[in-house]
């Protein structure tokens, strides 16, 4: 299963960036979203930023993902 998650861009270069989620940093490609800037929240799928979103939308999505993870922890 593939999952797209919101991440915050913390550094960037020409076509790539370092993005962070929950204290974990990953290198991502900005080739599909070249307008993304440091501080932006982006949806990342398979290592590619595919959409920008505002901070409130990112937080709501992250909260939902945390709730899903908690539910899965209780079913194991």
Residues 6+ apart with CB under 8 A from 15: 29, 30, 31, 34
Q: Does 22 score more than 90 pLDDT? A: no
Percent of the chain at pLDDT above 90? Answer: 71
pLDDT digits (tens, 9 = 90+) for 30-63: 999 999 999 999 999 999 999 999 999 999 998 9
Which residue from 17, 19, 41 is spatially nearest to 29, judged by alpha carbons?
A: 17
Average pLDDT for 18-40: 96
Quote the pLDDT of residue 75. Answer: 65
For the chain, domain boundaries: 5-75
CB 49 within 8 A of CB 30: yes
Instruction: Classify burial at 30, counting beta carbons within 10 Å of its beta carbon; exposed 0-12, middle 13-18, buried 19 or more.
Output: buried
CATH number of 5-75: 2.30.30.140
Q: Does 1 score more than 70 pLDDT? A: no
Both tokens assigned to 55 = 């901070």
Q: Check residues 43 and 72 and name the one with the higher pLDDT.
A: 43
DSSP 62: H
């Amino acid at each position: 299963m593939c999952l797209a998650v919101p991440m915050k861009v913390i550094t960037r270069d020409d076509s790539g960036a370092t993005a962070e989620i929950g204290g974990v940093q990953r290198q991502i490609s900005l080739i599909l979203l070249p307008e993304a800037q440091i501080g932006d929240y982006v949806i990342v799928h398979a290592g590619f930023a595919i959409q920008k979103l505002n901070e409130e939308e990112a937080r709501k999505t992250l909260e939902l993902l945390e709730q899903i993870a908690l539910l899965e922890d209780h079913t194991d």
